[in-house]
Amino acid sequence: MKSLHRLMIKGGVLSPSELKAICIYVENMGLNAISFGSRQDIIFPEALEDQHITSVGNFKLIDPEKTKSENISSSYLCADIFPRTPWLTSDKYLYVLEQFKKEYELKINITDPKQRLVPLFSGHLNFIASENEDYWYLYIRLPHWDTAEPYPALIYSWDIAGITNTIQNLLKEEPHNTEMIFELVNDALESNNQTIEEALHIPFHPFPYYEGMNKIGTDKYWLGLYWRNNRYDLAFLKALCELCSECKIGKISITPWKSFIINGIPRETKLIWEKFLGKYGINVRHSLLELNWHLPVGDNDALELKKFLVQNFDKNDISTYGLTFGISNLKNKGYYFTSVVIEKNAAPKELSDYNIRDTYNLLYARNFDPNTREYITHVQEVDRIALPNLLMELSVLYFEQLGTENDVVETPEKVEEEEIQVDVFQCINCLTVYDETFGDLTQNIAANTAFSDLPENYTCALCGSSKTSYKKKTLVRKSTSDS
């Protein structure tokens, strides 16, 4: 993945004519297929010979060894086919996306909390629609942060790009919390913020089925296409774009699941589309067992592991409806957005010269909901052969707790720190501290044991100094209390 060139497809949305032009460019480069990435971008599955190409049509070509640019991800593709916030129409997405005119080092997500197909929190800046028309929550997780923090105000649709630009310009200052960012942004530009009066609510829905021909209303269909090897044949794609143009279909959307969706297929052309798919031998009825997987691009080992696990699911007639699975290499650990994660452990350095079996960790999201952003370790360092039964075990657990999920993600209240003074006793030789609150578990001294009650033969656990070597000292600590 680190050596593959990518095309930035803003919001994962492009026209049939744009996709056809990309296919022709790629063909002229000597390739016969393209792949899709988890950021709704287009990836070239093979290295390019011409390293001087900087764009393909209207789209920026990113050489990962020269630039850190990231694509803007959006849930535009869900607007007309899955549950949505009433005011957030497909046109609204396009208006918001049109504001972004530059390249970004930050991963930007623009999403609706009522859909499940596009992850909400996988970006550095996560704009999530509120119930107030044209206003968005913002959750920030900058590259040097461990967790996402809520911005202390709702952001107006037409301020999103300006605030994004300002935050990117602040990266060199390495802001350490959202309060600092909020103050710096307000100093840099005028914005039409709104006070947050209600916590962000994210209703729980099982992960949707997104493949095949599906009806919308009375006279339209949408089509989801998925290829398990994520190598989409250029000849097929060019013919598909021509059919889209004939049917007056204006947009094609890339999903984060290495698939794409065509919306607005007229009812009278449904048979034409079915014949077209049959002509090219396109399967639109993949098993649900294998559909909802997120794999690293170009990782053949991950693809083989997925096939092995799916075959076992199928053999045992297991249902995984509503669950999503991800395979990750632990040494390249990133942000997860699937219900269940299979982490491949790196081989110990001291055994690098030996051929040893791979081991894996299994994690699952709290309530099996990736939007909780909390992962629980199920098992660690197990062999590949043990994974099918363990995953089936998790599947049973998922269905047992289904319907008990908490639909609310609370916006954390502001926490204030206050200083308190604590008396401790410190060894003058090695500076080890004895705190009466905690005792000394290394020597079976219980918590809340006063220093004066320690036996006279008590010695420092680190350097062995006697009890008389300890001197009383006052430390200042910080505690938190709700404001």
Which of 373, 401, 429 is at the close of a domain?
401
Does residue 125 form part of some domain?
yes
- Kind and range of the H or E run holding 387: helix 387-401
pLDDT score at 407:
57
Edge-to-edge strand ranges of the sheet holding 13-14: 13-14, 252-254, 259-266, 220-226, 212-216
Please state, in angstroms and rounded to a whole number, the distance separating the CA atoms of residues 193 and 154: 6
185 phi and psi angles, rounded to 5 deg? -65, -45
Number of domains in the chain: 3
State the CATH number of the domain containing residue 172: 3.30.413
Does residue 63 form part of some domain?
yes
CA 68 and chain centroid, separation = 18
State the CATH number of the domain containing residue 441: 2.20.28.10
Bridging pattern class, strands 252-254 and 340-344: unpaired
Q: Is 395 exposed, middle or buried (0-12, 13-18, 19+ CB in 10 A)?
A: buried
Does residue 238 form part of some domain?
no
Helices 16-28 and 234-246 pack at an angle, to 10 degrees, of 150
Which of 172, 188, 204 is at the close of a domain?
188
**Which residues form the domain of 464?**
415-482
DSSP type of residue 413: P
Q: pLDDT truncated to tens, each residue of the chain (483 aa)? A: 456 888 999 999 999 999 999 999 888 888 899 999 999 999 987 766 655 566 676 777 777 767 788 999 999 999 989 989 999 999 999 999 999 988 888 999 999 999 999 999 999 999 999 999 999 999 999 988 888 899 999 999 999 999 999 999 888 878 888 998 999 998 888 889 999 999 898 988 888 889 999 998 889 999 999 988 889 999 999 999 999 999 999 999 999 998 999 999 999 999 999 999 999 989 888 887 888 898 887 778 888 999 999 999 888 888 888 899 999 876 555 678 899 999 998 776 665 566 677 889 999 999 899 998 889 999 988 888 899 999 999 998 998 888 776 555 555 444 444 556 778 888 888 677 788 887 886 788 888 899 899 999 998 877 788 999 888 888 655 444 443
Amino acid identity for residue 318 in this structure: I
- Residues 317 and 435 placed together within one structural domain of the fold: no
- Kind and range of the H or E run holding 312: helix 300-315
Q: Tokens 């913020």 belong to which residue?
A: 193
- Residues 310 and 383 placed together within one structural domain of the fold: yes
- Residues 333 and 454 placed together within one structural domain of the fold: no
Tokens of 135: 């206003």
Does residue 465 form part of some domain?
yes
Does residue 257 form part of some domain?
no
- Residues 389 and 436 placed together within one structural domain of the fold: no
- SS3 at position 476: strand
- Residues 110 and 163 placed together within one structural domain of the fold: yes
Select from 130, 171, 170, 174 the least CA-distant residue to 150.
Answer: 130
- SS3 at position 343: strand
Bridging pattern class, strands 59-62 and 33-36: unpaired
- SS3 at position 12: helix
Q: Are 202 and 113 in contact (CB under 8 A)?
A: yes
Does residue 22 form part of some domain?
no
**CA 108 to each of CA 126, 165, 298, 327: distance values in angstroms, whole numbers, following the listed order:** 6, 11, 24, 23
Does residue 330 form part of some domain?
yes
- Residues 378 and 457 placed together within one structural domain of the fold: no
Could you write out the DSSP letters of every residue in 21-85?
HHHHHHHHTT--EEEE-TTS-EE-SS--S-TT--EETTEEEE-TTT---BPEEE-GGGTTTS---
Which of 153, 169, 188 is at the close of a domain?
188
- Residues 359 and 420 placed together within one structural domain of the fold: no
- Residues 44 and 176 placed together within one structural domain of the fold: yes
Does residue 229 form part of some domain?
no
Task: Name residue 421's beta-bridge partners.
Answer: 476
- Residues 89 and 119 placed together within one structural domain of the fold: yes
pLDDT score at 473:
82
- Residues 182 and 46 placed together within one structural domain of the fold: yes
Interacting residues of 360 by C-beta distance below 8 A, sequence separation 6+: 342, 343, 344, 345, 381, 382, 383, 384, 387
pLDDT score at 354:
61
Q: Tokens 């396109």 belong to which residue?
A: 282
**CA 350 to each of CA 43, 329, 346: distance values in angstroms, whole numbers, following the listed order:** 35, 19, 11
Interacting residues of 404 by C-beta distance below 8 A, sequence separation 6+: 367
Amino acid identity for residue 382 in this structure: V
- Residues 44 and 108 placed together within one structural domain of the fold: yes
Could you write out the DSSP letters of every residue in 420-431?
EEEEEEEETTT-
- Residues 392 and 470 placed together within one structural domain of the fold: no
